[in-house]
Each structure stands twice: as structure tokens, then as C-alpha cells.
Amino acid sequence: MSVANNESVAEIKARNKELIKEVLAVYPEKTAKRRAKHLNVHEAGKSDCGVKSNIKSIPGVMTIRGCAYAGSKGVVWGPIKDMIHISHGPVGCGQYSWAARRNYYIGTTGIDSFVTMQFTSDFQEKDIVFGGDKKLAKIMDEIQELFPLNNGITVQSECPIGLIGDDIEAVSKAKSKEFGGKTIVPVRCEGFRGVSQSLGHHIANDAVRDYVFDKMDPNRPAPFESTPYDVAIIGDYNIGGDAWSSRILLEEMGLRVIAQWSGDGSLAELENTPLAKLNVLHCYRSMNYISRHMEEKFGVPWCEYNFFGPSKIAESLRKIASFFDDKIKEGAERVIAKYQPLMEAVIAKYRPRLEGKTVMLYVGGLRPRHVIGAYEDLGMEVVGTGYEFAHNDDYQRTAQHYVKDGTLIYDDVTGYEFEKFVEKVQPDLVGSGIKEKYVFQKMGVPFRQMHSWDYSGPYHGYDGFAIFARDMDMAINAPVWKMAKAPWKDDSNSKLLAAE
Amino acid sequence: MTQNADHVLDHFDLFRGPEYQEMLANKKKMFENPRDEAEVERVREWAKTEEYKELNFKREALTVNPAKACQPLGAVFVAVGFEKTIPFVHGSQGCVAYYRSHFSRHFKEPTSCVSSSMTEDAAVFGGLNNMIDGLANTLSMYKPKMIAVSTTCMAEVIGDDLNAFIKTSREKGSIPEDYPVPFAHTPAFVGSHITGYDNAMKGIISYFWDGRAGTIEKLERKPNDSINFLGGFDGYTVGNLREIKRIFGEFGIKYTILGDNSDVWDTPTDGEYRMYDGGTTIEETLEAINAKATISMQEYCTEKTLPLIAEHGQEVVALNHPISVKGTDNFLMTLARISGKEIPESLARERGRLVDAIADSSAHIHGKKFAIYGDPDLCYGLAEFLLELGAEPTTVLATNGGKAWEKKMQALFDSSPFGKNCKVYPGKDLWHMRSLLFTDPVDFIIGNTYGKYLERDTGTPLIRIGFPIFDRHHKHRYPVWGYQGGMNVLVTILDKIFDTIDLATNVPAKTDYSFDIIR
């Protein structure tokens, strides 16, 4: 099906440039000018992808982005399992994000864990008119009474909070005092702040700094005996169990994981992270802020890693090991060797079925680059990629370590652009989100959700790669795609069609 | 090592392996500062008690696990039901990402919707420029025949005036002077998604009937014999509207479904993506003013829309999600009365088949207790049907149900001996429901996907009927209205009852004497 395979790089570049010109033609002049800065064809050797990023979305274009609340409640804070996260404002935000992100955890829900619950202040008109602070205070009382084993509360602000001038900081402070120093975290992640989920991540990181780290008693007793091998996993949300299939590798190589941020995480783990000898950072975009802070304030170094696909996993295990002594370096080699037969078997089984297949990606924080290696381990090629909410440092990492010459790059892609790109490039697989999934499947293009793993996973680590490979094969080689055209209809011009 | 290439283990098997189990136990013990297990158990048991229920019902401020969404979701539901129409939600863009995801998770279909992407500067200066640019972009990119505007709470709090903004957008040339842009203010802090349905539907109808926001003459009604139909916010809209069309067809009645989203949420996979499909046309919407009457299948979704239509001289009829025999009888007799046509024999036969099925099966349902939650009309329709089956809708809860609904439900209970011990809970949430399931246990729950948490915690089997249904596929394709819909609901209930009996009787040499082949 793929067109890309039969073309030279020069041809691909020319085609992609033409394609960008073509999609821009649909826009009013002002919009075309703005969108042009977000679309590019990657040139090998360049230090970034040549696109502008982290800029306001254009009204009316059908951006795929979310908001700051989604970045804080949905991504950073929501998975902390022993705290209660109040969606503060009207009912919708909490309702649409209720248990939708598959942050797996172990705990008795409703008693000592609360991740898959929807706590909301369900704002009514009177709360808008008279303010919601009294209601918020009362909510905290009711939480204490009905959920006595919660270890803390966060206030996840929805749009109206910042607009009506509520003082959630004062309420949180007063209640924290009243409850004997309980951790209560006001988060100013109103949906209108910033341009995407990204500012929500940053605000949530800052809230950890201000209301967890800065409130800790510096003289508190050590929660456990430290070892030279203590590390924390940062920026893994345990979607489908990703953090677990990562943690097991770190522990097998001899490290001790003292905290998970934030998938299956707890308040105690957040508090204890400054004791780590190294923070290992998976999703750079959403948690680089707190990693930098811990480096500056507590002297904890951090290193980025990538646990998608055996090539990147091995590279990452060695990189992490390089921060430690020979025992850990040997441990890394031992782990790589241990899983080698499994990886060989997975690749032997799936690579022949996937070799040469092309992929277009459009995801969030790290996956538009991080998963490229995993596809390449299976003989597949990523021919287009883009981010919902990247900053330029993400595009630098993408250009310098991941994408090939001629790759189509699209930042904050619009529905229209994405459809047209796929229609013209005709990839064998699209990896993006739920809003995009059915659009492309209707066009007859195999699709995997690369936010939620399409309700599968884990995809991280060696155990996860087996599932990843199986899923990609399942998507691309499903018999259903051969049935999209009725046999009595003319098939000679079979191409994927976007909506007109 | 647990994983293997020949038989790839999924998450539900993988993490049960001994390496993972040990790792997770160690994580908890060493690093999570966990609560004492006995204490967790004590609180878990306490949360089942009457004492806890009383505290729980004393809640005044906190909402936990509500069964309702916000207004703009209902507005998007309405807008996609009009031909080549894009919902345009004025306010923060994250909301639109949520609505689109929410519908796509339920229908397993794309949902097109745009936002005016207001950010901090718009919060200060208002969202006029976002509206002007947004309308122009949407029009040139997606070439809709109509853009239906609604609002998020952000735009409502800062007080953006849609009518004025759209007018200014026309003046600035963002959209042509006569381009249709109906609109509705849909504040998320008032009502719920069913209120949003009502406001958006009313907005579209009044826009087209009453002179397009003061830009042209109002339409004059020239009565004809047609009947208008409003489905209300309905997770079964695909199956239900097709069933309704079939019923109108059987009658031979001329009809207009206002907001027909049954095609756009059920497009084929044939190589072409249809961003738009089907839907009520503008011409049909204009023509609808001349109809003899308008029937709403959901009273509480059309509390403002129906009075507006009545003001234009039509008869309006509000039903309550007819699932029961009586409900459909009433629907058909209403159609017959308004149209002057006799109820076709084919539908009488269908009725007989549903009654036949109830007679065959009611022994398995009779006397069973049910807890129902969902939107007010759905709750009513289900409760009415259960009463016909000799079952007891013991607990009926609607987070977005009000006083009028409460009264109506009570009247329904009072009308049947099976309603004697039944109770209605307006404005309560699923954490209230959890308490009730412990203190006043029932045999089955009927509700949406989120009911699975209640099923897990209380052991009460869940029958999935409602919105959203995320974890089962394709249910929205099957109608729950009409006699055929009643049949589908009956079978859905029976399947769960029989599965539950089988599960409770399958231990060899212990319980399997009752593992019957014939039921």
C-alpha cells in the first residue's frame, strides 16, 4: 500500500513539500501563514525539525490538543493513588477524564486509593456568582469524613476558578492546618492557561515543588535506609502497566526503585524522591521541570531514557548504568542478555510480517519520537510524525536522535491536515488518539491508539515490546482491511480518501 | 520471565506472574507508606453500613462519581444531527477534545467539532477575535453548510455575547451575511448534558423559524400533516432513530426528525471517510414549522424546546423514553391520533410478539429487585418496563433529575403494586448509590459503564443500559424504543439473569445440580 517505499529520499522530500503547500491552500491567508511555520520536511543534519511549537492553536481548525487541566489532573496528579483529586468547577472536565487514561494501580478503590473515581465540586450558577471557596472548604471536610484513609487532597482548577477570583490557596492552607498539616495542594491548572496540556504539566510540577517538597519537615526521620542504588522513575504514568514493566528491569539490574512518578505512585513516593541517587526520566516533556528542580535543590542528577523496543532499551539500560558502579553495569548487561532470546523470538515472529511497513504518528509528549526505535526494531519506518504539545527541545531531540531525512513533520496538526497527509502518503499504519482512530479506519488505514495503547499494553520494557509487536501486527495484518472495498466496486483507483 | 513470544501475555495475565507480584508487594511495603491492612478492611466494612450511608447522604458540597455530564456535550450531540453541520464550541479548546473523545469512546465513531481556542488573553479581552477567526477558518477548511455555536463555561463566565459576536463576524467578512450560524448559550454550571441538548435544539429551531436572529422575517406557519420528532440526548440514537423511521414508515406518516445523528455516528468503513453524513437539512428544519405536532421522546431533554414549538401553534407531546409496552402503546396511539391514521397491523403484531416474549420469560424476572440510574427519562422508561415485567425498580437515581421528575417517578411507583417499595433519588450520585446497594441490596443494577465499579464493590451484577457505554461494543446500534426496543431490553436483562444463575451454579459436586440446560 505504501507509496514511500518506491521513492528516493529526494522524491519523498519533493512530494512532502508539495503536500504541505497543498494543505495550506485551504486556509485563509493569515491562517496559512501561521500554519506554515508548523509544517516541515525534515532535513538530515539539522539540529531541530524546523517547525515552530508551543504556540497558540488557531481558532476553528480542529486542533487535537487538550488543556492545562488535562495536563495536571489527567496526566501528572491524577495517577497519585492515595490522594483525592478534586475536579474543581463544573462537572464536565472530571466526567470526561474519569478513568479514561488507564493509569494502573494497586489499591482498594474508594478506601485507600482513588484514581478511578470522579470527585468534583459540580459548580452551579450560585458558585460562579458568589464564589466557590466555602464550598471547597466544605468539600474537604466531607472528604475527611467519608474517605478517612486518604493521604492528601489536590484541587485541580477548571476554567471558572481563575476567572471568578477564588482563593483556593487560602482554603487549602487553612484546611491543611486544621487537619494537622495534611498535604493539600491547590493547582492553578485552569483550562484556558497556556496553549495546550503542556502548561498544565509545568503548573502541576511546580505544585509538587511548592506543596510537597517545600512543606516537608527537613528534620523528619528517614523513611527507609538509603542505598547507593536508589533511583526514581519519573514521567511514567503506568498506562496499561508501563511503569511496572520498566521497574522490573531496573530492579533486575540491581537498582532499587524508591518512587514512581506518577503511575501507581503515592504521596510518600513523591516525598522520598529527593533521596534518590538518580532520577530516570521517561516523559521529558511532562516532568523535566521537577527533575531539574530536584537536581538544583537536592543534587539529584537525572537522565532521560527510552524503554520502547530492544535497541533503545539496551541503550537506555547502559546509559542508566553508566551513573553507577560496575555491579550495576554488569547488571545491565545481564538483563540485556536475559531478555535477548525473548526479543529475538518476538522479532523473528513479527518482523517478517511488518518489514518495510510505513507509519505516521501524531501523539503527545514523548511518543512521537520515543516509539520510532521500536518500529525500526520491527523493520518498519516512521515517515511522518508530530506532537500535540511539544516545545522546541522536543523537536531538537527528535531531529538529533530519531527521525530520518525527509520525514514529514507536523506540529499541532489540524484534523484537515492530518487527513490529507495520510491520504497522500498512504502509510500502512497510523498511530494517534481516540479522536483520530475512526477517521483513519474508515479510510481503510490500520490504526493504533498511541496514548492508551488501544486498551492494551504495557508497551514499555521487554515484556511490553512483545505486546507492542503483537499489536502492530494485529492492526496491520487484520483481515478486515482487505474487506473495506466491496468486491463488485471498481478497485483500480484504490486510495485512501479523506473527507472532502 | 513471564512473557513469551509464542503466546504474548496481555496485562491481565502478565502482572499476575510471581516476579511482578513480588515486585509490587515489595513496592507497597517499602515505599508507599501504606495504611495498615486491618484498618483498610475496617473502613471498607464501615463504608457498607447504615451509619456510613447516613453520613454519605448528608453531603452538601462534594459530588462523587456523578451520572451526568455538562451542557456543551448535549449541544454537540444536537449539532452533528444536522446536515453538513459543524459544532463550534466557543471557549477553551480542551473541552472540545473531551467531547470528541467521549462520543468516540461510546459510538466507536469519529466526532467532528471545533473550538474557538480561547486562552488567557481572551479571558481578559473577550473571545470576539477567536470567534471571527474561528468561523472563517472552519468555513474554509471543512466547508460546512451550517456552523452551530455553543459555549464552554469559560466564555459564559466572562460573559461573551454570541449573538453580537456572530453579527460582528459577519460584518468583518469572516462568514457571509446569510450564512447560517445558529447558536445557544450552554453554561456548564447550569443543568447537565440534557439541558445542553434542550438549549441547542431550541437555539437551532428558533434561529430558523424566528428570522435568523433578527436578520430576516420570521417564518409564517402554514400547517400541514407532518409530525416532527425529537429524540433527546440518547446513547442509542443510531439504533433508535432508525427504528423510529421504520415505525413512521409503517404508518405512512410524513415526518421530520430534528437532529438526526444516526448516520454520522454510523458511517461505513469502505475506504472513504465521511466527515458529514445524513442529518436534518436546513430545508427540512424550515419546513418543520408547518408540522401538525412535535413529539419528544424525552420530556426532560426538551423542557424549553417544546414550549417554543408550542408557541408557534403546534401540538407538542412529551414522552418518557418509551421502552415498555405501555410506553410504546402510548407513542403509537399518539401518532395515530395526531395523524388520523390507524395503527398498522404490522405494529400490532410486533406488540403481540413482545407480549409473547414477556409471557415466556417473566417468571425469571418477576419479583427481582433492580437499582437503576441514568438520565431522568431513561430511568422512567426502564422503571415502567420493569413494573410490567413484575420486577421492582427498587432504587431509581438520576444525578440530573429534579423535583418534577421525582414526583413523576413516585406517581409511576404508586400506579403499580410492584412499585410499593421503590424509591426515587433525584440529584444523587453513584457514591450514594454505592451506599444504597449495601444497605438496601438489589438483585441487579442497570446503568452505564461506570456501574462496573458498583458491580465490583457490591457484587451486584450490572446490566449495561445507558450512556456512556465504553467497555462493551455496538450496543448503540440496537434500539431500545418501540416494541422491538422493548424486546432488546428484555433480552439484555434476561441474558444477565441467566449468566448470573449459571455463574452461581457451576461448581462441580457443590452447586452444579442447578446448572440447568433448559431455563
Q: How many residues does chain A have?
A: 500
Are the beta carbons of B270 and A484 separated by less than 8 Å?
yes
Residues in chain A within 8 Å Cβ distance of B166:
none
**pLDDT value for A7:** 79
Q: Which of A70, A207, A232, A475 is catalytic?
A: A70
Nearest chain B residue to A134, by CA: B61
Are the beta carbons of B453 and A109 separated by less than 8 Å?
yes
**pLDDT value for A499:** 67
Residues in chain A within 8 Å Cβ distance of B158:
163
Which residues 267-286 of B are in CB contact (within 8 Å) with A?
A: 267-276
* Pairs of CB atoms within 8 A across A/B: 357
Residues in chain B within 8 Å Cβ distance of A192:
92, 118-120, 122-123, 154
Distance from CA of A155 to the nearest CA of B (A): 13
Residues in chain B within 8 Å Cβ distance of A145:
55
Distance from CA of B128 to the nearest CA of A (A): 11
Helices (H), ranges, A355-391 = 367-370, 372-377
What DSSP line would sit under B337-400, residue for residue? HHH-PPPPHHHHHHHHHHHHHHHHHHHHHTT-EEEEESSHHHHHHHHHHHHHTT-EEEEEEETT
Distance from CA of B158 to the nearest CA of A (A): 7
Are the beta carbons of A118 and B65 separated by less than 8 Å?
yes
B2, B55, B95, B452, best to mutate vs chain A, most A CBs in 10 Å: B95
Residue B103: name the closest of A57, A17, A437 by CA.
A437
Are the beta carbons of A96 and B142 separated by less than 8 Å?
no
Give the closest of A148, A245, A342 to B5, CB-based. Answer: A342
pLDDT digits (tens, 9 = 90+) for B117-148: 999 999 999 999 999 999 999 999 999 999 99
Are the beta carbons of A149 and B33 separated by less than 8 Å?
no
User: Measured in whole angstroms, how far is the alpha carbon of residue A381 from the centre of its chain?
Assistant: 21
- Cα distance between residue B464 and residue B449, in whole Å: 6
A33, A97, A122, best to mutate vs chain B, most B CBs in 10 Å: A122
Are the beta carbons of A241 and B100 separated by less than 8 Å?
no
pLDDT digits (tens, 9 = 90+) for B293-320: 999 999 999 999 999 999 999 999 999 9
Active site residues of B: 153, 157
**pLDDT value for B161:** 98
A67 is catalytic: yes
Intra-chain end-to-end CA distance of chain A, in Å: 22
Residues in chain A within 8 Å Cβ distance of B190:
124-125
Residues in chain B within 8 Å Cβ distance of A100:
101, 105
Residues in chain A within 8 Å Cβ distance of B112:
62, 415
Chain A CB within 8 Å of residue B119 CB: yes
Which residues 224-243 of B are in CB contact (within 8 Å) with A?
A: none
Evaluate whether B447 touches B466 at the Cβ level (below 8 Å). Answer: yes
Distance from CA of B446 to the nearest CA of A (A): 19
Are the beta carbons of B113 and A440 separated by less than 8 Å?
no
Evaluate whether B207 touches B178 at the Cβ level (below 8 Å). Answer: no
A401 is catalytic: no
Residues in chain A within 8 Å Cβ distance of B153:
89-90, 92, 123, 128, 158-160
- Cα distance between residue A361 and residue A355, in whole Å: 17
Cell numbers that stand for A368 in this block: 512521537
Q: What is the mean pLDDT of residues B419-426?
A: 97
- Cα distance between residue B508 and residue B519, in whole Å: 19
**pLDDT value for A491:** 65
Give the closest of A82, A110, A192 to B119, CB-based. Answer: A192
Are the beta carbons of A435 and B116 separated by less than 8 Å?
no
pLDDT digits (tens, 9 = 90+) for B440-490: 999 999 999 999 999 999 999 999 999 999 999 999 999 999 999 999 999
Give the closest of B19, B43, B114 to A149, CB-based. Answer: B43
Nearest chain A residue to B59, by CA: A142
Which residues 421-460 of B are in CB contact (within 8 Å) with A?
A: 431, 434, 450, 453, 457
Q: What is the mean pLDDT of residues B429-444?
A: 98
**pLDDT value for B215:** 94
Chain A CB within 8 Å of residue B55 CB: yes
Distance from CA of A401 to the nearest CA of B (A): 29
Chain A CB within 8 Å of residue B6 CB: yes
Are the beta carbons of B97 and A67 separated by less than 8 Å?
yes
* Helices and strands of chain A, counted as H and E runs: 20, 14
pLDDT digits (tens, 9 = 90+) for B88-127: 999 999 999 999 999 999 999 999 999 999 999 999 999 9
Are the beta carbons of A338 and B135 separated by less than 8 Å?
no
Are the beta carbons of B114 and A342 separated by less than 8 Å?
no
Are the beta carbons of B97 and A164 separated by less than 8 Å?
no
Nearest chain B residue to A140, by CA: B62
Q: Given a cut of 90, is residue B2 above it in pLDDT? A: no
Residue A113: name the closest of B423, B34, B201, B467 by CA.
B34
Residues in chain A within 8 Å Cβ distance of B102:
96
- Cα distance between residue B426 and residue B162, in whole Å: 32
pLDDT digits (tens, 9 = 90+) for A396-432: 999 999 999 999 999 999 999 999 999 999 999 999 9
> ipTM surpassing 0.95, yes or no?
yes
- B465 SS3 class: coil
Residues in chain B within 8 Å Cβ distance of A119:
62-64
* Long-range Cβ contact pairs of A220-224 (< 8 A, separation 24 or more): A222/A275, A223/A268, A223/A271, A223/A272, A223/A275, A223/B31, A223/B33, A224/A258, A224/A272, A224/B30, A224/B31
Q: Are strands A408-410 and A39-41 parallel, antiparallel or unpaired?
A: antiparallel
Distance from CA of B517 to the nearest CA of A (A): 35
Cell numbers that stand for A21 in this block: 503547500
- Cα distance between residue B149 and residue A311, in whole Å: 49
B53, B59, B117, best to mutate vs chain A, most A CBs in 10 Å: B117
Distance from CA of B371 to the nearest CA of A (A): 20
> pTM surpassing 0.80?
yes
Residues in chain B within 8 Å Cβ distance of A104:
11
Are the beta carbons of B64 and A272 separated by less than 8 Å?
no
**pLDDT value for A251:** 98
pLDDT digits (tens, 9 = 90+) for B179-197: 999 999 999 999 999 999 9
Mean pLDDT by 10 residues, chain A (500 residues): 66 97 97 98 97 98 98 98 98 98 98 98 98 98 98 98 97 98 98 98 98 94 96 98 98 98 98 98 98 98 98 98 98 98 98 98 95 98 98 97 97 98 97 98 97 98 98 98 90 62
A120, A159, A436, best to mutate vs chain B, most B CBs in 10 Å: A159
What DSSP line would sit under B25-60, residue for residue? HHHHHHHS-PPPHHHHHHHHHHTTSHHHHHHHHT-S
CA dihedral B451, B457, B460, B466 (to 10 degrees): 0
